[in-house]
Structures are given as C-alpha cells and as structure tokens.
A = this chain, B = another copy of it.
C-alpha cells in the first residue's frame, strides 16, 4: 500500500457522513480506502460489472451514464466532491447500473464494499445518515425526471450555465465567464440534447445579447435574462 489517506481530512459532504465514526472506525475506513488520481475521461467502473467497491469523490467531477439501445450515452447524473459512487450496487449486492467516468481530473477513494458494509453494521448512526442522504438524492433524481420531461432545451441549457457559473472556479476566471473544458458533444449529453441543438440554443442566446459564445469560453452578459430563462 503505497499511499494512505485520512478520511477525517476529507472535505465536503462525505465528512458529514463519516463524522459520526468513532476514532477506531475511522482509522479502519482510512486504512481501507485507497485513493487514486484519475485523469479526465477515465472510467471508474462499468455498468454491469459486479459492485465490489464504493467510491468516494474527493475532488473533481464525475458523470454517471448508461448506454442505451441505439448506442449513445444517457447521462443519469453528475457527482462531485463528497459524493459516493456505486453505493446502490454495494448495498443491494447488484452490479453497477451505470458507468462512472471522470469529466475532469479527479481524486477518488475506492472503499471495498465489504469494509463499508461492516462499518455500517458497526455504526447504525452512519446508516441513518446514509438513509438521509439517499433520501435527498432520491428527491434530486425525481426533480431531474420532471425537468427532463417538462422543460425545454432552452431552459435546461440556461440552468446548466447557471450551475457552471456557481461552480467554484480556479483563479483565472472573471465573474460571469465559464470556461468550457468539455466538448460540445459532452456538454450536450449533460444537458440531455444533441450538439447541434445545443449549438443553436447557445447562439440563439447570443443573438439575444445574453451570452457571448466562444469555442471554449462562454461569457454571460445578461445574467438576469438567463435566470429568467431558467425560471
């Protein structure tokens, strides 16, 4: 075991979850968790393979997607720091339902399913916290279901852009400027549309004076209008 990790120092929502662990349990977790640095577009696990481990995102962001019949990817969700991946599979003992892939460079800890389950048995409070978290995620997923079905591409795109603005960014960016690291293809997937439609939508916004669209940067000129579009 080359690297070691201290789950106590882990920031974000995961801390909330693990904060109830006793020192001894936390030590056990830290010992079981194996961190790994992923590059962009590396897969963490694949849909259909047995759920041997649970993954805890320390930094970076990850997309979860399923492959649908016609072959293209359906993005089921995006996870960030503090989120757990593969929880369902480990709990239910079923294969992963989705494939997880990093969007950007990320550091993610792998926790063997068995270790996690035994920890869960030892510490019911963590179980309760987990229930609450799952309940919360459930609601978010429901929101997503409604959004995908009811809201038009324009609205979803506006929401996506607003999320990106709020995302904590590194030094260089000015307020209102979104650096696009993803390709249009990928961006379209996250919104749930095609690259063509996304392009049209963005340039539509641009010609309304709301955005300035560049290949890898989007400047928001009229945030008020954008917020109105996102309702």
Of chain B, the residue at the smallest CB distance from A123 is B124
Interface of A is mostly: helix
Total A residues in contact with B, Cβ cutoff 8 Å: 36
On whether the beta carbons of B137 and A138 are closer than 8 Å, the reply is yes
Q: From residue A128, how far is it (CB to closest CB) to chain B in Å?
A: 6
Taking CB atoms and an 8 Å cut-off, the chain A residues in 122-141 that contact chain B are 124, 127-128, 130-132, 134-139, 141
Contact B141 A141 (CB under 8 A): yes
Residues on B with beta carbons closer than 8 Å to the beta carbon of A127: 124, 127-128, 131
Q: Chain A 78-91, CB within 8 Å of chain B: the 1/0 string?
A: 00000000011001
- The answer to whether A135 and B74 touch across the interface, beta carbons within 8 angstroms, is no
User: Are the CB atoms of B146 and A149 closer together than 8 Å?
Assistant: no
Return the chain B residue nearest A76 by Cβ.
Answer: B142
A200 at the interface (CB under 8 A from B): no
- Binary interface encoding of chain A residues 89-111 relative to chain B, with 1 for a CB under 8 A from any of its CBs, else 0: 00110100110000000000000
